[in-house]
């Protein structure tokens, strides 16, 4: 599948639109259309149902070290500025960027890739366009243009090695930037803070500065004591949250994969330090299984442990669940979710002040006067176990998933093209979205076979009953075969047809999107029939 085909389908059928499109759009921001909002809501609902709402703390879950509790939270997008100073975001939350002095464009240092090529006695490193669907095609086109070659002369290009990140290139003097005509136009990389700054209050002074949250996690940590005292939960337990986050990405790209406004689905799981490694392994495996159960192919997923040099300064261990998105080069994967063993870093930071790692030990960072650089709340965020009579700072395991990235992955996985008979029995190409029934934006479509003999009235009655339970679509326009195709293209798993036999015995035809099989069931059992498939 070419990514451009999916992007075109998303706009055509109302899954996703460019934000503010009538004004030329705003890079890094996306609007979910009528079908997209249902799909994303289904992804979020599936996560909440599976992780929180249906969790039974009385039962030992498979693979879990012990029984545990789950609860939820919904925190504000704007929080006290000190939250981000103690968490480290104020000082450390940045990416390295490079600027092109010729095109005046800015790029993320770690997202630029290119290849060495030689032609006409000159050897240069050509960078591809980070927004392009295909790196190799982009790099090839840039090289042809730079050396003023025509198609018949492309054999003059002598390529060296595979794609390389710009991070591997020490000297930029022979680098051709993505939109430059000359070499050596990139500046050395420098830090760029990713938080969106805003103002709270009417006066608008610097003392009123605040930030749109770059993650939902910190709202959970600063409410740890509130949840503990109000909910009577006992360790081990998790607090889950879904919500918007904002990061001022330098080069948003690849559709909704990297956006400036996005939604997260996060759990902060608090446990005893002695059992934290076992809980880390449990959540790592459980979250991987969740994606496969909802239809992501296992060969396109991988669970990758971070190398030591990738870990955050506080991290005990981190694993990423990654998916082979079609916009990535062959063999590469993009992050869907991170599962991090954060130790006691967060609760200690918000209690004592911003922590730094000194010789493997977390200590409060001090300023030039020997005082904490960023003071904590001073609140006691330890946990007292009244059964063991032990007091300790809980360790935290954090499964952090992106709702937008998960939605995009399910879209990519669902997209398929095959052949099936049209209304005349002729085999023709069919575009179909093979969503898991739980995720499909529309669960069922109801058709009267013809617009007469009482069929539309009976179909409308069935439609009204189904709509009480599922998102359902009613269509009586065109041949039934065309109506099937329209539903296949938006991923509707079941189409229900009211025909002359329905008028006689009260049965309807259900047609399965994936198998194309048709079978009859009593119209009064439709709700139970479709509900049974939503597992």
Tokens representing residue 406 in the block: 């998960």
- Per DSSP, the residues of 124-169 read EEEEPPTT-S-HHHHHHHHHHHHTT--GGGGGG-EEEEEEEEGGG-
Burial class (CB in 10 A: 0-12, 13-18, 19+), 197: exposed
Dihedral, CA of residue 408, residue 411, residue 416 and residue 417, to nearest 10:
-90
**What's residue 313's pLDDT?**
62
Contact partners, residue 443, CB within 8 Å, separation at least 6? 437, 466, 470, 471, 472, 492, 493, 494, 530, 534
Burial class (CB in 10 A: 0-12, 13-18, 19+), 353: buried
Residue 201 CB coordination number (10 Å): 10
* CA pair distance 271, 100, nearest whole angstrom: 48
Q: pLDDT tens per residue, the chain (535 residues)?
A: 788 899 999 999 999 999 999 999 999 999 999 999 999 999 999 999 999 999 999 999 999 999 999 999 999 999 999 999 999 888 877 778 899 999 998 888 888 999 999 999 999 999 998 877 788 889 999 999 999 998 888 889 999 988 899 999 999 999 999 999 999 999 999 888 788 989 998 777 777 889 999 999 999 999 999 999 999 899 999 999 999 999 988 778 889 999 999 999 999 999 999 999 999 999 999 999 999 999 998 899 999 998 877 766 667 789 999 999 998 888 889 999 999 999 999 999 999 999 988 887 888 888 888 888 899 999 999 999 999 999 999 999 999 999 999 999 999 999 999 887 776 777 888 899 999 999 999 999 999 999 999 999 999 999 999 999 999 999 999 889 899 999 999 999 999 999 999 999 999 999 999 999 999 999 999 999 999 998 8
- Under 8 Å between Cβ of 507 and 520: yes
Residue 268 CB coordination number (10 Å): 28
Q: Kindly report each contact of residues 419-423 with a partner whose C-beta sits within 8 Å and lies 24 or more positions away, as own/partner.
A: 420/516, 421/481, 422/481, 422/482, 422/485, 423/479, 423/480, 423/481, 423/482
Contact partners, residue 57, CB within 8 Å, separation at least 6? 67, 68, 69, 70
**What's residue 367's pLDDT?**
87
Tokens representing residue 15 in the block: 């899954």
Which segments within 250-375 are labelled E, that is strand?
Answer: 261-271, 301-305, 317-323, 334-343, 355-358, 361-364
**What's residue 314's pLDDT?**
65
**What's residue 84's pLDDT?**
92
**What's residue 93's pLDDT?**
76
Buried b (16+ CB within 10 A) or exposed e, 217-240: bbbbbbbbbebbeeeebbbbbbbb
User: Which DSSP state fits 360?
Assistant: T
* DSSP-assigned beta bridge partners for residue 435: none
Which segments within 185-234 are labelled E, that is strand?
Answer: 190-193, 196-199, 209-212
pTM of this structure: 0.84
* DSSP-assigned beta bridge partners for residue 241: 266
**What's residue 458's pLDDT?**
95
Q: Three-state DSSP class for 524?
A: helix
Contact partners, residue 118, CB within 8 Å, separation at least 6? 124, 157, 158, 160
- Per DSSP, the residues of 53-119 read IT--TTS--TT-SS--EEEE----SB--HHHHHHHSHHHH-EEEEEEBTTT--EEEGGG-EEEEEEE
* CA pair distance 66, 68, nearest whole angstrom: 6
**What's residue 238's pLDDT?**
97
* CA pair distance 297, 75, nearest whole angstrom: 34
Buried b (16+ CB within 10 A) or exposed e, 502-511: beeeebbbbb
- Under 8 Å between Cβ of 312 and 306: no
């Amino acid at each position: 599948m070419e990514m451009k085909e999916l992007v075109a389908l998303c706009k055509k059928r109302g899954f996703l639109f460019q934000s503010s499109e009538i004004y030329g759009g705003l890079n890094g921001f996306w609007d979910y259309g009528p079908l997209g909002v249902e799909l994303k809501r289904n992804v979020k609902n599936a996560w909440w149902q599976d992780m929180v709402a249906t969790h039974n703390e009385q039962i030992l879950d498979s693979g879990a070290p012990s029984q545990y509790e789950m609860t939820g939270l919904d925190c504000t997008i704007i929080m006290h500025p000190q939250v981000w100073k103690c968490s480290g975001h104020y000082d450390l939350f940045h990416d390295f960027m490079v600027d092109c002095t010729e095109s005046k464009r800015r790029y993320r240092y770690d997202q630029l890739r290119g290849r060495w090529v030689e032609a006409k006695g000159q050897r240069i490193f050509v960078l591809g366009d980070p927004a392009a669907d295909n790196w190799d095609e982009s790099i090839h086109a840039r090289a042809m243009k730079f050396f003023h070659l025509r198609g018949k002369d492309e054999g003059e290009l002598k390529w060296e090695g595979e794609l390389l990140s710009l991070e591997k290139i020490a000297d930029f003097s022979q680098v051709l930037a993505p939109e430059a005509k000359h070499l050596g136009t990139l500046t050395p990389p420098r830090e760029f803070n990713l938080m969106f700054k805003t103002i709270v209050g009417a006066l608008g002074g610097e003392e009123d500065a605040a930030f749109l949250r770059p993650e939902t996690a910190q709202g959970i940590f600063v409410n740890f004591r509130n949840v503990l005292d109000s909910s009577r939960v006992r360790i081990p337990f998790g607090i889950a949250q879904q919500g918007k986050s904002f990061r001022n990405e330098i080069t948003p790209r690849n559709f909704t994969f990297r956006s400036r406004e996005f939604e997260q689905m996060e759990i902060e799981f608090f446990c005893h330090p002695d059992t934290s490694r076992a809980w880390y392994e449990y959540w790592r495996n459980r979250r991987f299984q969740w994606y496969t159960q909802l239809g992501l192919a296992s060969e396109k997923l991988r669970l990758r442990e971070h190398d030591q040099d990738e870990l955050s300064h506080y991290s005990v261990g981190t694993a990423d669940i990654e998916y082979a998105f079609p916009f990535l080069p062959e063999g590469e994967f993009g992050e869907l979710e991170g599962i991090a063993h954060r130790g006691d870093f967060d609760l200690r930071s918000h209690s004592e002040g911003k922590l730094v790692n000194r010789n493997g030990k977390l200590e409060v960072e001090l300023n030039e006067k020997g005082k904490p650089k960023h003071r904590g709340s001073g609140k006691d965020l330890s946990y007292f176990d009244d059964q063991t009579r032990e007091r300790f700072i809980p360790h935290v395991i954090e499964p952090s998933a992106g709702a937008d990235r998960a939605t995009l992955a399910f879209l990519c996985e669902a997209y398929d093209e095959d052949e099936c008979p049209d209304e005349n029995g002729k085999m023709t190409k069919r575009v179909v979205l093979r969503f898991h029934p739980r995720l499909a934006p529309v669960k069922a479509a109801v058709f009267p076979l013809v617009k007469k003999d009482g069929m539309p009235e009976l179909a409308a009655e069935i439609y009204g009953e189904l709509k009480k339970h599922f998102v359902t679509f009613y269509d009586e326009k065109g041949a039934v075969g065309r109506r099937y195709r329209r539903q296949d293209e938006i991923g509707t798993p079941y189409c229900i047809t009211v025909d002359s036999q329905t008028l006689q015995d009260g049965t309807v035809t259900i047609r399965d999107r994936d198998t194309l099989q048709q079978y009859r069931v009593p119209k009064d059992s439709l709700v139970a029939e479709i509900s049974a498939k939503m597992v």
